Amino acid sequence: MRYNRQTPAETGACLTHQSERETDMRDHKLKHLQNIGKKFNNLTVLDVIHGMLFSDKITRFYYICLCDCGNKKTIRADSVRLSSTRSCGCLWLNNHRNKTHGGSHGIGIMAEYKVWTSMKMRCSNPKFTGYKNYGGRGISFCERWKLFENFIADMGRRPSDQHSIDRIDNDGNYEPSNCRWATRQIQNNNTRRQKT
């Protein structure tokens, strides 16, 4: 009786309807638990979490994954199962490292990776220098940018080493609509404009 309609597994979605019965949820969870130890692309599932992580508004299933590179990362279960996320982000990095022009050996992309890492730290790690001006006053980064591959897809390559990530609205969050690469000069002009 419970399976007259399409189950979430069939649709590939992990979201459950408001009316979803407890028993369905249990079956669903069991299905996820069976993936522990299984490998999806570069990711091996270590554990399953059901909850509201990151800035989610609904509860979802997540997998704590061990990437082939040794990184541990919590990733949405459906992203892992449907191969929309295939590694902790290192796979993307490696693919592009080999393709960077002029034989720059990935130095370029490492710069963007550092920008991304320190952005996350500024917003979420109280021990990080500058936290009080970012996370400390409510500045955060969007769910999508939890993954480096999304961040770099949205922002593109940094135009030069004079550029850093700039929030157009200084009180806004780190998200595609509010960010750009800008030189110190542009950022200063922008700050002045906002003050006057």
Among 7, 35, 41, 71, binds Zn ion (CB under 5 A): 71
Query: Is 152 a residue that touches Zn ion (CB under 5 A)?
Result: no
Ranges of H-type helices in 22-180: 22-33, 77-81, 90-99, 107-124, 148-155
Among 14, 75, 77, 88, binds Zn ion (CB under 5 A): 88
Residues that bind Zn ion (rule: CB under 5 A) add up to a total of 6
When the beta carbons of 25 and 46 are compared against Zn ion, the nearer one is 46
Residues sharing a CB contact under 8 Å with residue 128, sequence separation 6 or more, in sequence order: 118, 121, 122
Q: Is 39 helix (H, G, I), strand (E, B) or coil?
A: strand
* Minimum CB–partner distance for residue 148 and Zn ion (Å): 10
* Minimum CB–partner distance for residue 42 and Zn ion (Å): 6
Residues sharing a CB contact under 8 Å with residue 75, sequence separation 6 or more, in sequence order: 43, 62, 63, 65, 85
Query: Is 85 a residue that touches Zn ion (CB under 5 A)?
Result: no
Which residues face 180 on adjacent strands?
A: 166
Q: Find the part of the chain contacting Zn ion (CB under 5 A) among 66-74, 109-117, 125-133, 163-171.
A: 66-74
Query: Is 48 a residue that touches Zn ion (CB under 5 A)?
Result: no
Q: Which of residues 105-144 bind Zn ion (CB under 5 A)?
A: none
- Helix (H) or strand (E) run with residue 193 in it: helix 184-195
Residues that bind Zn ion (CB under 5 A): 67, 69, 71, 87-88, 90
